[in-house]
Amino acid sequence: MTETHDLPVALVTGASRGLGAAMAEALAPAYHVVAVARTVGALEELDDRIKSRGGHATLAPMDITNRDAMAQLCRAIHDRWGRLALWVHAAIHAAPLSPAAHLDEKDWERSVAVNASATGILIPFLAPLLGEDGRAVFFDDPRAGDRFFGAYGATKAAQIALARSWQAESARTGPRVHILAPAPMPTATRARFFPGEDRETLARPRDEAARLLAGIA
């Protein structure tokens, strides 16, 4: 069996469910996966699935909006492995659909914190760990300006704008930044937006994870 210290390390933020969990599973056993999410039970279930496929994971149950926790995590990654080969950022807060004139303040603040501010903190933290040869992956979902998508659309657009700036700035020096467009999937996030949708017609997260990873190989 391959020892974990021989494997490249992949960090997946938002790894407990949906596309993040599917990406974490797809990356194992070729990578040692550091899985970050708030839900301990879902992370443990992910770990079981990864182990059943012969993979390796380190679980990091924490909130990406906690700057000190993220700094501690990055230091721990540096001290244990020295660097990261890949960062997959799938963490998202999907605020309920609402007219812009009726935004809930707590939903707005959480959307800004998770979707925008945390990304602005994590990029400077993780860029040194990724170095010249690492890769970072973000997932676009262009809802900015759509009716009722005010909180989600605006903050997701801010996240992707940060990623695009980093992509342009690091094009020659690395790391390589990928901004991917997943097909619609029957995730909890999408169910909040389209509750009456026929989920049988949507792409499976596992299939999308395989397709998206093949595109950056």
Q: What is the DSSP string of 107-164?
A: HHHHHIIIIIIHHHHHHHHHHHHHTTT-EEEEE----TT-TTBHHHHHHHHHHHHHHH
Lookup: tokens for 26 = 């797809």
Task: Supply the pLDDT for residue 29.
Answer: 87
Lookup: tokens for 147 = 């009716």
Task: Supply the pLDDT for residue 3.
Answer: 44
- Mutual orientation of helices 118-130 and 67-81 as an angle, nearest 10°? 10
How far, in Å, CA of 134 to CA of 216, rounded? 12
C-alpha separations of 24 from 53, 56, 87 in Å: 12, 10, 11
Domains and CATH numbers, the chain: 4-209 (3.40.50.720)
- CA neighbor of 156 nearest in space, from 197, 182, 119, 105: 119
Task: Supply the pLDDT for residue 5.
Answer: 58
C-alpha separations of 163 from 109, 119, 136, 168, 207 in Å: 20, 8, 9, 9, 24
pLDDT tens digits, 127-171: 999 999 999 999 999 999 999 999 999 999 999 999 999 999 999
Task: Supply the pLDDT for residue 192.
Answer: 87
How far, in Å, CA of 104 to CA of 64, rounded? 21
How far, in Å, CA of 124 to CA of 171, rounded? 16
pLDDT, tens digit only, all 217 positions of the chain:
334 558 999 999 999 999 999 999 999 989 999 999 999 999 999 999 999 999 999 999 999 999 999 999 999 999 999 999 999 999 999 999 999 999 999 999 999 999 999 999 999 999 999 999 999 999 999 999 999 999 999 999 999 999 999 999 999 999 999 999 999 999 988 988 999 899 999 999 999 999 999 988 7
